[in-house]
Structure 1
Amino acid sequence: MHQQTIHFLFTTSNSSFTSSSFHPKSRFHSPHYDFASLSSPKNAHFPIFSLNATLSLPLKLPRTSEVPTISPPIRPVPHQPNLRRSQFREKMLYLESIGLDFLSLINHNPPIVSASLSDIKSTVDYMTSLGFTAIEFRRIAGMCPEIITSRVSDIVPVFTFLLREVCVNGSDLKRVIHRRPRLLACSVKQRLRPTLYFLQSIGISEVNKHTYLLSTSVEEKLIPRIEYFENIGFSHRDAVSMFRRFPQLFNYSVEGNFEPKFNYFVVEMGRDLKELKEFPHYFSFSLENRIKPRHQCCVDKGVCFPLPVLLKMSEAQFRDRVEVLFSSIG
């Protein structure tokens, strides 16, 4: 059987469809392949092409080599919002059971919302094991809410540092924490130890008596206060000497304490800086309730006292001393 050749010709000139060679017994001659009925409408435009081949239909599509995937079994997942709500409520109930106001703690220490309840319980248990009562712990948490979100692994180094490096007596440990609870929320490496070294470097040897200073920043608080006294006329040596003699100066504000009291000392009292160098405790007395009234009383009576005598005496002693000195003058 010879190969059949079929030619199709579409022309754009007469839009007619012709078969130049078509065998009536061809295997394509069937109602499904009635090419004569496909003649195009008049004036239609089609591209010209020819097909010269024996047509055959594919028997089937090629198979792919894909490996079927196996889906993992579907397991039920707990509803996360409900789970978080339950944990939040459990944490709130626990803190309230030990006398802490949960909402107040959130306002002062927002990270408590995401803190682990197990970590909170461990911290409370550890503080209790050191002898802090429930009332004492509530006071500590009220002054330093960060203690609630501090882990035991963060607190233990603080107690170790105070005992070994600052030389705080074990019997005084609770007193130290009561006075400055924020010590427990400070990093030994980044805050406590650098401050200890600075205080020792300016000659404060018994830092265990001034542990409240350990939580303060050297760069942000301690050095700027020394520089203030240098700026108002003291040498660096004299300024450091004042802080060594009275370390509590580091606790006072420059704007709220040093400036108004120094201005009154110089302008109204007219005294010499040497007196401040020898008695830096002047800045620990109230300007309105102690310094001004007693200075004005001395001015009215025409008497004058050294700073320690003027400020350290009780009110009754001061009045008696003024009257005695005033009588002797008169």
Structure 2
Amino acid sequence: MQQEALSFLSSTLPPHNHHFPPFSRLRLSNFPSLSFKPNSSPSSIFFPPNPPDSLSSAPSAAGTLETDIHEKLLYLDTLGIDFLTLLNRHPPLLSSPLSAVKSVVDYMTTPPINFSLPDLRRLVSMCPELLTSPLTSHTIPVITFLLREVGVDSTFDLRQALRRRPRLLACSVDLQLRPTLYFLRGIGILEPRRHTYLLSCSVEGKLLPRIEFFERLGFSRRSAAAMFKRFPQLFNYSIGENYEPKLNYLLGEMGRDVREVLEFPQYFSFSLENRIKPRHVACAGRGVRLPLAVMLKTKEDGFRDALEVQFVLNDSQELKRMKKPVVSAYILREKGR
């Protein structure tokens, strides 16, 4: 096979016996000629013509770019935005026209959007792409999508959504926001306007892997999805840094059933070191077992009260169990008489 390929290649190559014209016949039209005027001194040489205007205009183009950058720096400085810091994080800002930047700023800071300058600075610091995204083909479609398709009720709620998740402004409606919206509705989250922070999450990269994690624990897809429907914030937690250590403690130290998190997925929202462990230790010290919701959701005073009540109930039940055999023996003894 290799020999055939070599034969084919050699047959397609041109022959080696090229006939090049002698060097004396080559035209040197591309090289400047040095000629002397009649009766002139040897120093009077005719040089080639000046370079084209395009080359001579390069310094002016560089000057225009420098001016544009300087004006952009001054403009952003008036807004309280550090141009150089932002440029370090988002280099495309360097080539973005000042007019385009101004259009975005005007749109975001005037009615109906009407962000304040402090809010705008926060948005830009967390999402510098806002200043370089095309206004009509990107930013306005994102705003329209949130209002019309997601169902954000008002510009006030819109501002709240963007304050919470500025990265929404960097997402494509067709490639990111709309597919995630359909996914959330598909698992039963029927009011996504309350959870707009999830719309910037990748379905394949973030949302599905978290549902599949609970499926690997033995939950059905329907049961696992129901957890996220009941507590959508669960999507925001890390598998390795949140789910796994808290489940290990639940099953190991606490000796509880994993199915308890189906009813109370908010378990994962509490700090393991500052809430879950201290409350469990307090319960174990009194021999009390409280439902997860009661153990974790109640404030400290309410938790202590619940602990005492359950301890008393447990104590009274234990007394009843201890008395029951004595009473039964007494009844049998009386019948024997």
TM-score, with length taken from structure 1: 0.75
215, 227, 231: which one pairs with 1:230?
A: 215
CA separation of 1:283 and 1:301: change in aligned 2, threshold 3 A: same
User: For the Cα contact (< 8 Å) 1:120–1:151, is it kept in 2?
Assistant: no
1:202: how far off? 1.0
Per the alignment, residue 134 of structure 2 pairs with 151
Shifted more, 83-92 versus 288-297: the winner is: 83-92
* 2:57 aligned residue: 77
Q: Pick from 257, 263, 284: which aligns with 2:269?
A: 284
C-alpha displacement at 1:73, in angstroms?
Answer: 8.2
Deviates more, 1:235-244 or 1:190-199: 235-244
- Distance in 2, Cα, partners of 1:101 & 1:311: 44
Structure 2 unaligned segments of length 5 or more: list them: 1-49, 316-337
RMSD in angstroms over aligned alpha carbons?
1.9
CA spacing shift, 1:211–1:73, aligned 2, 3 Å: closer
Q: Deviations over 1:137-186 (max 9, x none)?
A: 11111221211211212110011111111111124111111111111111
Structure having greater relative contact order (Cα 8 Å, sep ≥ 6): 1
What corresponds to 1:118 in structure 2?
99
- Stretches of structure 1 that go unaligned for 5 or more consecutive residues are 1-70
Would the aligned equivalents of 2:247 and 2:258 in 1 still touch at CA under 8 Å? no
- Pick aligned residue for 2:279 from 288, 294, 301: 294
Cα distance in structure 2, aligned partners of 1:104 and 1:259: 38
The answer to whether the aligner puts 1:163 opposite 2:139 as a matched pair is no
Contact 1:122 1:151 in 2 (8 A): no
Q: Report the AA paired with residue 185 of structure 1.
A: A
- SS of residue in 2 equivalent to 1:210: helix
**TM-score (normalizing by structure 2):** 0.74
User: How far apart are residue 121 of structure 1 and its match?
Assistant: 0.6
Q: Quote the residue 2:90 is aligned against.
A: 109
> C-alpha separation between the residues in 2 aligned to 1:159 and 1:73?
48
Percent identical across equivalent pairs? 56
Alpha-carbon distance between aligned partners in 2 of 1:158 and 1:90, rounded to the nearest angstrom: 28
Give 1 or 2: higher helix fraction: 2
Q: CA deviation at 1:84?
A: 2.4
Instruction: Say which one has the larger Rg.
Output: 1
Alignment-mate amino acid for residue 143 of structure 2: F
CA offsets 1:101-154 (integer angstroms, 9 cap, x no match): 112212322211221111111100000122111111111112212112112121
Contact 2:231 2:265 (C-alpha < 8 Å) held by counterparts: yes
Q: Secondary structure of the residue that 1:291 maps to in structure 2?
A: helix
Q: 2:123 aligns with which of 132, 140, 146?
A: 140
Q: What is the deviation of 1:83? A: 2.9
Look up the SS of the partner of 1:100 in the other structure: coil
